[in-house]
Chains A and B, each alone.
Chain A
Amino acid sequence: MKYIDHGSVVKKMGTRMIVNKFFKTLFFLATLFALLALGVLFYRIITQGIGYLSLDFFTNFGSRFPEKAGIKGRPYWITLDDGRCDTCVFNTGCWICYISRGICEEGQNQ
């Protein structure tokens, strides 16, 4: 039977701790990379988009002339489409859950 050599464990402890710290930093930096990507994306959207936000942009309808283009009408369609889609998906999903549960319970009872 092989016993743990206390001396060699203590000797390797320093290296193991350093490796652990190194990887902890590496994993943290990997997490930061994702956050950095998000930060850069939002920074770009905000700095490039904020100058074009005006009252006209919200009150004009879509147009092929950039100076006259706006998003009035779009939110209505997005809301309407999403609303219809959500209602349909939510109802169907609920009923599927309900029936699946019923079938499962029936199966368990049998």
Chain B
Amino acid sequence: MALNDQSAKMSVQDMIAKHKGRKGNKRFEKSIPYILFFIASISVLTTFGIVFTLIFETFEFFKRVPFSDFLFGTEWLPFSNNEPLFGILPLIAGTLKVTLIAVVVAVPFGLASAVYLSEYASDNTRRIIKPVLEVLAGVPTIVYGFFALTFVTPFLQQFIPELKIFNALSPGIVVGIMILPMIASLSEDAMSSVPNSIRDGALALGATRLEVAVKVVLPAALSGIMASIVLAVSRAIGETMIVSLAGGSTPRFDLDMTDSIQTMTAYIVQVSTGDAGYGTTIYYSIYSVGFTLFLFTLLMNLLAHVISKRFREEY
């Protein structure tokens, strides 16, 4: 007790002075930044490792397959016994079809939800609806995949009889539902961060809530909204489970949404879970497809960065 009283009376400066002379402590203190730097560099090195692996294995692929055949070829038949074809365009077409449908579903509904939550809903309604919406983003994608295959496709077949069991429409809609809360939530955050004084000014001039939302709040929050859309699109491009389960595995270079497709991610899954031997051209092809996918998502992330910088408004 007496010791406690004594230490309580010691000032912080006294304690520092008391421990300053210890050699071990000093050495330990000096080593801490190096230890922390080493730990921090692990994630950076991991990223570099992933990118370098992708690049090296992709080079190996291009030693076997001409770059022009890969880039401009319209047929992707890697398992063909006669003459395997590695034209990436069908896989890109499949990915873009699903992404396009997802954007058509998610952007209008997501933005409308964001405007409702930010401009019209009461605090209580917002407090309930927003977390419930965010639950959608937390549903595992495998569940969404089965939902697309066992519910959405049969439901759509009632209206579109020619729709095949594996198609682009159903996974596209479900990917759209999956990214919808991302757009709604991030856009709502961006709109809510617009100062109320601007809103009140417009309302005081006689604008309706819709006019305030469309002509004042949306332009002011444009950078955040665009960034949310671009991030959601890059998630749609990289989506794997839904398209693997409900999209099928037929690479096609056309605009048909009712037939089976194959996306870049679905191809990687197909080869990774199959019997492709190490060192074969098919094995290296997954790296080339992965690298193409990486370029797509990198481009989208850079775009999000540029947009958010270009349209940023600070109040």
Contact = CB atoms under 8 A, between A and B. Distances in A.
The DSSP consensus for interface residues of chain A is helix
Contacts of B151: 40, 44
Contacts of B211: 16, 20
Contacts of A92: 39-40, 42-43
A44 B40 contact: no
Contacts of A44: 147, 150-151
A28 B120 contact: yes
A91 B40 CA distance: 9
A92 to B, nearest CB: 5
Interface stretch (B60-68, B129-137, B220-228, B268-276): B129-137
Nearest to A17: B208
B21 interface: no
A70 B8 CA distance: 59
B87 to A, nearest CB: 36
A35 B143 CA distance: 17
A92 B39 CA distance: 6
Given A44-B151, A98-B36, A27 B184 contact: no
A24 B209 contact: yes
A95 B136 contact: no
The DSSP consensus for interface residues of chain B is helix
Interface stretch (B108-116, B156-164, B281-289): B108-116
Nearest to B135: A38
Interface size class of A (residues with CB under 8 A): 20 to 34
A103 B129 CA distance: 40
Contacts of A27: 112-113, 115-116, 120
Contacts of B133: 31, 34-35, 38
B36 A28 contact: no
B266 interface: no
Interface string B75-96: 0000000000000000000000
B180 A31 contact: no
B117 A31 contact: yes
20 contacts: A17-B208, A19-B208, A20-B210, A27-B112, A27-B115, A28-B120, A31-B112, A31-B129, A31-B184, A35-B129, A37-B136, A38-B135, A38-B136, A92-B40, A92-B43, A95-B40, A96-B43, A99-B33, A99-B36, A99-B37
Interface of B: 33, 36-37, 39-40, 42-43, 108-110, 112-113, 115-117, 120, 129, 132-133, 135-136, 139, 143-144, 147, 150-151, 177, 180-181, 184, 206, 208-211
Closest 6 CB pairs of A and B: A30-B112, A27-B116, A20-B208, A95-B39, A31-B113, A20-B210
